[in-house]
Amino acid sequence: MANKDINRIKVVLADKKKTNKWLAEQLGKDQTTISKWCTNTSQPDLVSLIKTAKLLGVELADLLRVENVE
């Protein structure tokens, strides 16, 4: 499968005026991991995605681009 923009984490972080560093600290993850999620180089596991949605005060669906999944 070609690399596609599956998540919207970068967009939602910007909307909420939060940084990758802030999210990494909140989740106990490395900043490099969060950066990869934001560039869609890799994807978070479901538990991390749910925690991210809660931290940002958004619905889980707000973090996903389902139209880009084949």
Q: Are 49 and 59 in contact (CB under 8 A)?
A: no
Mean pLDDT of 42-70: 91
Q: What are the C-alpha distances in Å from 28 to residues 15, 21, 34, 63, 69?
A: 22, 10, 10, 19, 28
45: three-class secondary structure by DSSP: coil
For residues 25 and 1, the model is more confident at 25
Nearest to 46 by CA among 29, 67, 60, 28: 60
Q: What is the pTM of this model?
A: 0.87
Q: What's the pLDDT score for residue 5?
A: 86
Q: Does residue 32 carry a pLDDT above 60?
A: yes
Q: What's the pLDDT score for residue 1?
A: 45
CATH for 9-68, options being 1.25.40.10, 3.40.50.620, 3.40.50.1820, 1.10.260.40: 1.10.260.40
The percentage of residues in the chain with a pLDDT greater than 70, rounded to a whole number, is 91
- How far the first Cα of the chain sits from its last, in Å, is 8
